[in-house]
């Protein structure tokens, strides 16, 4: 693995400037993950003599970052423009996390015969094998209903809409409830984070909406174990890995229908076509009160995870796709 910026403690990730020395054989395969503007990546695709593959998770539309982060706005704007150059690079294969992502590539001219859908690899195997964090279990095993959202705190994730829906649920259905927002808060999005706190205070829910920050794998497992419902109001997702984390833990899912979310959930959760806080609050309440429905959707999610989204299934799909364009192990 090669990257421009990396944690020095990650011994298995090398500076991208060394990649040309590694990829010398025409039979070698470069897998380039495109997610932001990055001109050195385009240079590699143009210059290297080896085979090339694109792994595309989507580039967040820049409008989500207007008034929040000029850097992200620009990087995403140019990153989406670079898709045309990536299409012209005529790579051997284009791997998209979802049908939704694949459409971006088709729209800029990549041929269908080179486009394959392969879900993203994940760390679910790791955190399922760990013991859950005892402190987290003790903190939230107090009889309150825990509604969980996992993912970085970023403007495309729809936190204001989720907080509004939770406030309706909390005030009108169940005062003995809390919303746990688990995910890293970045300095670049501090204005967005500030607005979220102001929203919770305005809705008189600041005592019941908890921003936990980034969580370890063992803590993340504990949050899923303590959750009655996984809820997301995200406005843009190329796939949404936390949804399959919830499925793997048999936690029922409620989500607004946007971007790749309906295809990721399938029929294994409640996907709401209308972005209305009272509708989401009612859906959450139904799952909390109706144990049989909650159990049924939890099991359906687990079955969907087992059938489509385990790392073993994803690995097989990836190699099947590579073999279809003549790239063998």
Would you give per-residue pLDDT tens digits along the chain (329 residues)? Answer: 898 887 766 678 888 889 999 998 999 999 999 999 999 999 999 999 999 999 999 999 999 999 999 999 999 999 999 999 999 999 999 999 999 999 999 999 999 999 999 999 999 999 889 999 999 999 999 999 999 999 999 999 999 999 999 999 999 999 999 999 999 999 999 999 999 999 999 999 999 999 999 999 999 999 999 999 999 999 999 999 999 999 999 999 999 999 999 999 999 999 999 999 999 999 999 999 999 999 999 999 999 999 999 999 999 999 999 999 999 87
Question: Domains of the chain: which residue ranges?
Answer: 2-117, 124-309
How confident is the model at residue 5, as a pLDDT? Answer: 81
What is the SS3 assignment for the chain?
A: CEECCCCCCCCCCEEHHHHHHHCCCCCCEEEEEECCCCHHHHHHHHHCCCEEEEEECCCCCHHHHCCCCHHHHHHHHHHHHHHHHHHHCCCCEEEECCHHHHHHHHHCCCCHHHEEECCCCCCHHHHHHCCCCHHHHHHHCCCCEEEEEECCECHHHCHHHHHHHHHHHHHHCCCCEEEEEECCECHHHHHHHHHHHHHHHHCCCCCCEEEEECCCHHHHHHHHHHCCEEEECCCCCCCCHHHHHHHHCCCCEEEECCCCHHHHHCCCCEEECCCCHHHHHHHHHHHHHCHHHHHHHHHHHHHHHHHHHCHHHHHHHHHHHHHHCCCCC
Question: Angle at the Cα of 297 (from 291 to 301), degrees rounded to 5?
Answer: 140
pLDDT at 89: 93
Alpha-carbon distance of 165 to 187, in angstroms, equals 26
Task: Let me know how long the chain is.
Answer: 329
Q: How many whole angstroms separate alpha carbon 190 and alpha carbon 217?
A: 25
Between CA 295 and CA 38 the distance in angstroms is 45
Q: CB burial class (10 A; 0-12, 13-18, 19+) of residue 263? A: middle
Distance CA(89)–CA(101), nearest Å, equals 18
- CA 266 from centre of chain: 16
Residue whose pair of structure tokens reads 């790239």 in the numeric block: 327
Position 328 scores a pLDDT of 84
Query: What is the spatial distance between Cα 313 and Cα 118, in angstroms, rounded to a whole number?
Result: 10
Q: Which CATH number fits domain 124-309: 3.40.50.10490, 3.10.20.340, 3.40.50.720, 3.40.50.2000?
A: 3.40.50.2000
DSSP strand pairing (14-15 vs 177-182): unpaired
Q: Residue 10: what pLDDT?
A: 66
- Return d(Cα 76, Cα 79) in angstroms, integer: 5
- Measured between alpha carbons, how far is residue 201 from residues 69, 180, 207, 210 in Å? 23, 16, 8, 12
């Amino acid at each position: 693995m090669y990257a421009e910026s990396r944690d020095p403690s990650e011994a298995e990730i090398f500076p991208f400037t060394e990649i040309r020395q590694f990829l010398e054989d025409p039979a070698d395969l470069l897998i380039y993950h495109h997610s932001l503007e990055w001109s050195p990546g385009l240079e590699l695709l143009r210059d290297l003599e080896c085979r090339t593959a694109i792994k595309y998770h989507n580039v967040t539309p820049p409008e989500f970052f207007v008034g929040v982060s000029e850097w992200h706005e620009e990087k995403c704007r140019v990153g989406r423009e670079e898709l045309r150059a990536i299409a012209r690079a005529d790579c051997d294969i284009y791997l998209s996390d979802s049908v939704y992502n694949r459409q971006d590539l088709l729209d800029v001219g990549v041929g269908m015969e080179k486009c394959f859908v392969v879900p993203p690899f994940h760390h679910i195997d790791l955190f399922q094998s760990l013991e859950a964090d005892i402190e987290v279990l003790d903190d939230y095993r107090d009889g309150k209903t825990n509604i969980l959202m996992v993912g970085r705190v970023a403007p495309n994730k729809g936190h204001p809409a989720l907080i509004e829906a939770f406030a309706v649920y909390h005030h009108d259905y169940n005062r003995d409830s809390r919303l746990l927002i688990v995910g890293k808060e970045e300095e670049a999005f501090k204005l967005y984070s500030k607005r979220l706190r102001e929203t919770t205070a305005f809705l008189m829910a600041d005592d019941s909406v908890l921003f936990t920050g980034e969580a370890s794998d063992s803590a993340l497992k504990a949050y899923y174990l303590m959750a009655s419902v996984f809820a997301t109001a995200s406005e843009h997702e190329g796939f949404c890995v936390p949804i399959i984390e919830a499925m793997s833990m048999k936690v029922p899912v409620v989500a607004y229908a946007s971007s790749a979310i309906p295809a990721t959930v399938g029929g294994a959760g409640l996907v709401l076509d209308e972005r209305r806080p009272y509708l989401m609050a009612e859906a959450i309440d139904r799952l909390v009160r109706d144990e049989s429905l909650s159990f049924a959707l939890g099991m359906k999610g687990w079955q969907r995870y087992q059938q489509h989204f385990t790392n073993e299934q994803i690995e097989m799909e990836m190699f099947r796709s590579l073999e279809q364009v003549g790239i063998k192990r």
